[in-house]
Amino acid sequence: MTHLAVIAGVTAIAATGLWTANDPFVGTWKLDVSRSTIVDQMVVEAAGPNKYTFKFEGGPAETIVADGTDQPGLPGTTLSVTADDSRTLNVVRKEGGRIIVSAIWKLSEDGRILHDNFTGVQADGSTMTVDYVYTRMSGTSGFAGNWESTTQPVGLKFELQIQPFDGEGLSFVRQGSVKSITFDGQDHAVAGASEGATASGRRQSERAMEYTDKVAGKV
């Protein structure tokens, strides 16, 4: 629900048997910010007069009228967008009526760079501000296009809990989400995710795993 995602994966070639609480992956993990980089991609499409479709990190599309009102967004959230002028957007995401993300987007005069002054609420209630700088990967003018940013996440507090799941899987728990993976190589529906979302996993050894997310069959 923010711009941020942390993806952990190592290659594996075969599923194995049961894993227990002695599994070396099980426990609470904290992101080492000094050794981390966020590579973030987003897609913005023009959907009509004063209307945009946003796709953050390959997530489901959110089509929003830029009139400053709270509109249905990702599951359990609303998204509002206000156009201050032709090169400035104010973006606010709420959950339960409470702001969890706010951002000010500004386009450079030549339209090639998008500056995103991003503030997110972290799990402990503190806020983190990151100044993202996106480079245009496609599109020619305005906010519409594919954008990519590479940023060090200074100030980010990211905690991940990994727990045993159903005898032969693992659950990955972070703020606002739980993803459970069964290591049998089969696609399984992801509880609480968008319709058509599945995940499959394989396990080579106690120290190696691989999982794949799909939406409507597409990786």
In degrees to the nearest 10, what's the CA dihedral of 63, 140, 68, 158?
70
Same domain assignment for residues 201 and 128: no
- Between 5 and 187, the higher pLDDT residue: 187
**In the prediction, which pLDDT does 21 show?**
57
Q: What residues does 147 pair with on adjacent strands?
A: 42, 136
Question: What is the tens place of the pLDDT at every residue in 77-131?
Answer: 999 999 999 999 999 999 999 999 999 999 999 999 999 999 988 877 888 888 8
Question: What is the tens place of the pLDDT at every residue in 12-66?
Answer: 222 333 455 588 999 999 988 888 888 889 999 999 999 999 998 767 899 999 9
Domain of residue 127: give its range.
Answer: 37-151
Same domain assignment for residues 163 and 146: no
Output the six-digit token pair for 106: 């500004």
Structurally, how many domains does the chain consist of? 2
Same domain assignment for residues 14 and 41: no
The CA distance from 213 to 199, in Å, is 5
CB 6 within 8 A of CB 31: yes
Same domain assignment for residues 16 and 77: no
Name residues whose C-beta falls within 8 Å of residue 168's C-beta, 6 or more positions apart in sequence.
17, 18, 19, 182, 183, 184
Same domain assignment for residues 73 and 129: yes
- Using the predicted structure, report yes or no on whether residue 3 has a pLDDT greater than 70: no
Same domain assignment for residues 1 and 71: no
